[in-house]
Amino acid sequence: MPGQIEDLTALHARHGRYPQADSVEDFRRNLAAVQRRIVEACRRVGRDPAEVRLLPVSKTFDEAHLRLAYAAGCRLLGENKVQEAQRKWQAMTDLQDLQWSVIGHLQTNKAKQVARFASEFQALDSLRVAEALDSRLRIEGRQMDVFVQVNTSGEASKYGLAPVDVAAFVAAMPAFPTLRVRGLMTLALFSADVGRVRPCFVRLHELRDRLLQNVPDGVSLQALSMGMSGDFEIAIEEGATVVRVGQAIFGARAMPDAYYWPTADTRPLREDTLLSITPSR
């Protein structure tokens, strides 16, 4: 499509390596810059920017920086590791309107913690986890928005359902009434080649459109969570309604994303590792 981003390396070079945000003004500036990129991406494909929700991802950053982000207007923060997220939630309960989205893989033995504090879980790919979450949420008297994670890259090392298994999985969701299914989530292939990254997003969008023909009562698949700091513009061009952006808001992380995105086997390189070999995400 004319006007679309054709090269991720050029995109990284254009935005540079992200400096760490250390003041409310820094966060406001970075948030505004990301919002401009969202608007520009939407404009290229004739979408309304209001259709895209920005989820700031605060993993690895300390409480002080999260409080700065809150002061700059962030009211929902994304975290990968349950223990880290719970610790931050407990330390920041004075901010009563601050909510938490868990976006990393979840083991059943961590469901109890997530059910206590998270308002959203974006990596559901197991009926055992769905059952554990539903059981704990019933005890807590809470409900939770969830996204079904799909492995659209075909990498054996990644978590997420195979596309062919998603329809049956979604059909089982009404058995867990505390889980409000909002849509699908995916992690794109790690590559600076848009020609390899874009198909991951296209597959999720096409899968969602097929599933919409037979959605169970109480299940919504309208949302598509796809795209991070380095590729969210491509994701928006392909229909993303939620983009998970960390470094472009908080700044570059000390630890590589490989540490924070566990997989079924080895951990594929993600955005922070890309920073060490390309200009930036």
Superfamily (CATH H level) for 8-275: Alanine racemase (3.20.20.10)
pTM: 0.86
Closest by Cα among 160, 280, 276, 281 to 231:
281
Tell me, what's the pLDDT at 193? 86
Quick: pLDDT tens for 131-161. Answer: 999 999 999 999 999 999 999 999 888 899 9
Greater pLDDT, 257 or 115: 115
- Mean pLDDT value across residues 221-239: 96
- Mean pLDDT value across residues 240-244: 98
- Mean pLDDT value across residues 35-62: 98
Greater pLDDT, 267 or 76: 76
Structure tokens at 149: 């994670």
Helices 63-71, 24-44: inter-axial angle, 10-degree rounding: 60
Tell me, what's the pLDDT at 126? 97
Percent of the chain's residues with pLDDT above 70: 84
Quick: pLDDT tens for 74-100. Answer: 999 999 999 999 999 999 999 999 999
Greater pLDDT, 99 or 276: 99
Greater pLDDT, 138 or 261: 138
Report phi then psi at 130, rounded to 5.
Answer: -60, -45
Tell me, what's the pLDDT at 7? 55
Sequence-ordered alpha helix ranges (H) in the chain: 8-15, 24-44, 63-71, 82-91, 111-117, 127-140, 166-172, 194-211, 232-237, 247-250, 271-275
Q: How far apart are the first and last CA of the chain?
A: 23
Greater pLDDT, 253 or 193: 193
- Mean pLDDT value across residues 14-22: 75
- Mean pLDDT value across residues 206-224: 96
Structure tokens at 227: 């795209």
Residue 50: CB atoms within 10 Å: 7
- Domain ranges (residues) in the chain: 8-275
User: Cα–Cα distances in Å, from 196 out to 45, 46, 201?
Assistant: 20, 23, 10
Alpha carbons within 13 angstroms on the beta-carbon side of residue 162 total 6
| Long-range contact pairs involving 254-258 (C-beta distance under 8 Å, separation at least 24) | 254/60, 255/60
Residue 191 pLDDT > 80: no
Tell me, what's the pLDDT at 49? 98
> Burial of 156 by CB count in 10 Å (0-12 exposed, 13-18 middle, 19+ buried)?
exposed
In which band, very low, low, confident or very high, does the pLDDT at 256 lie, cut at 50, 70 and 90?
low
For the chain, what is the mean pLDDT? Answer: 88
In which band, very low, low, confident or very high, does the pLDDT at 277 lie, cut at 50, 70 and 90?
very low
Residue 205 pLDDT > 70: yes
Percent of the chain's residues with pLDDT above 90: 78
